[in-house]
Structure 1
């Protein structure tokens, strides 16, 4: 599903005051991509994703899904378009009085499917999310990861074209989060779904998303491919998200640099992350280099290398080396 959002705003009234949860949002989400929306608490990301299926009613602007403007639909037509949109939530939203089978079957029952159709579909989904042995269990007897798998199966019950995830992994531990993200990526590849997910975790964006929008105070402040945002964040908020990402690099390098040296953080995007940049720099200039820390992050479509080094030598040679790195399209920061 192709999604277009144009001039979208959402205003809440607080006594006589107007509070903007969203301000003039414009974006296009391509069919078949995994699109991430990241922001801090209160940034407006949940409001935005809930506007995409009109769980929240926009104050202004237009939302089109496959060229159908959903902001103008009546209740009947909105129900029809919602049947093609699945949604998963942070706290799963399972029916505690129903077992796993019944939770997955529930949306099919609402659509008036017969028992045979329901049984075939539920059994297929139980196998797909690897919960065949849990079909008669109740939510209270499931782990967080199992609950989210049930929620995903339920969201897929009516064969949607669009899947919305509202903080779908933030209640899970890191290992379980990885398994849920792998499942979502498998769903995208095998069913061709468009997936929109919101999160406050840059690790989630790194692992699964093609593109990302960063939202702050109800406005999109940065939107690009994940690789470009990682390699060259243009806003302070984006830089903080990238720098706070848990990697193999120590959060702060406690190192007392030597006189006549400079500490430099390097970032490499794509194939250049696998080239012997440091080795070539040492050969080209009269300098020495201490490698303090580094790693390579594998994104969905590319790689990002991070390296913190100490360059030793005469100021003139160090500056020439830094200029050379810049010409090699390596993002750097002198600490």
Structure 2
């Protein structure tokens, strides 16, 4: 659906050239929700704005359904953008227009008849559950309601792709969940491809199929969400996940402070809910001290994490860790 090839974007800062995005390669499949997560200034918003050429790439190509949009002229790009909706962190609503007019605006630009516009807007208002706010102005709406209006506007032209640039970061947790539920509903019912920029791993956990981590303009890790949670390969991925795994950061556990062997376990799917540690204690002559742990529910599975101290003879500890590996548990010695 979307193929990003060797994409880079630079900005001039006096005599210096700053690379906001550096040699990014991504393949985003039709109908999936693809997350791009990074800290502030990592380049994620620049990257997503290149996808519809709100930012012009300095190098590289962007293919949408096989067509390289970086080669499009203004007319071709205007037509391509009809298939790409976008929602923003701060909603970008027209505050002098009411809800109806905000949603109808892109349809008016397309020259649709009043009857066609009225039918489409009323359908969208019902879909985002804001029919009673038809004549209200943005200043009269809550943050969640404003974002629902923005989503309805983004859907007005029946796009195939929806880009979300920090679409939930200005919202409280309860409202965030309702917006994520709406996006998931949109994906399922309209088979939209959604590219979601965020700095919140909680958002990735709740809605994304796959995720890429961006740091200093480069993609440093990419995987299915459940695989990333089970076996993060970079320090940045671990840092994002650690806040979800436990209230106690991993860094608090120094092997020098313990006499036994410290290990971090990651469980995926059914194994996250099996009494594997209890069975391990019964099978081997070791003592186990549980230091921290929890289970995260992802959209398609569960991922559990535990940090344990194992005490006993080295050969028994080795047998215990081999047993865990055989039970499809990822074991990492801290």
Place the TM-score, normalised by the shorter chain, in its bin: over 0.9
Structure-2 residue corresponding to 1:251: 248
Q: Please show how residues 1-335 of structure 1 align to structure 2 within 5 Å.
A: 2-245=1-244, 249-252=246-249, 261-335=260-334
For residues 255 and 237 of structure 1, the distance between their equivalents in structure 2, rounded to whole angstroms, comes to 18
SS in structure 2 of the partner of residue 318 of structure 1: helix
For residues 256 and 37 of structure 1, the distance between their equivalents in structure 2, rounded to whole angstroms, comes to 31
Contact 2:242 2:249 in 1 (8 A): no
Root-mean-square deviation (CA, aligned residues, Å) is 2.0
1:296-325 Cα shifts (integer Å, max 9, x gaps)? 211122210122334343444233312332
Q: Choose 210-219 or 8-17, whichever is displaced more.
A: 8-17
For residues 259 and 199 of structure 1, the distance between their equivalents in structure 2, rounded to whole angstroms, comes to 37
SS in structure 2 of the partner of residue 8 of structure 1: strand
SS in structure 2 of the partner of residue 221 of structure 1: strand
Q: How many residues align?
A: 332
Distance apart, 1:48 and its partner CA: 0.6
User: What are the ranges of 5 or more consecutive residues in structure 2 without an aligned counterpart?
Assistant: none
Contact 1:291 1:309 in 2 (8 A): yes
Distance apart, 1:291 and its partner CA: 3.6
For residues 256 and 241 of structure 1, the distance between their equivalents in structure 2, rounded to whole angstroms, comes to 20
Q: Choose 102-111 or 313-322, whichever is displaced more.
A: 313-322
Query: Kindly tell me: are residues 250 and 167 of structure 1, through their superposed partners in 2, closer, same or farther at Cα, counting changes over 3 Å?
Result: same
For residues 83 and 37 of structure 1, the distance between their equivalents in structure 2, rounded to whole angstroms, comes to 23
For residues 322 and 260 of structure 1, the distance between their equivalents in structure 2, rounded to whole angstroms, comes to 17
For residues 114 and 6 of structure 2, the distance between their equivalents in structure 1, rounded to whole angstroms, comes to 44
Q: Which stretches of structure 1, 4 residues or more, deviate above 4 A after TM superposition?
A: 252-260
For residues 208 and 145 of structure 1, the distance between their equivalents in structure 2, rounded to whole angstroms, comes to 17
1:190-240 Cα shifts (integer Å, max 9, x gaps)? 000000010000111110000011111111111111111111111111111
Contact 2:271 2:328 in 1 (8 A): no
Distance apart, 1:252 and its partner CA: 4.2
Q: Choose 55-64 or 306-315, whichever is displaced more.
A: 306-315
Compute the TM-score of the two structures, normalised by the length of structure 2: 0.94
Q: Choose 280-289 or 223-232, whichever is displaced more.
A: 280-289
Compute the TM-score of the two structures, normalised by the length of structure 1: 0.94
Q: Choose 259-268 or 155-164, whichever is displaced more.
A: 259-268
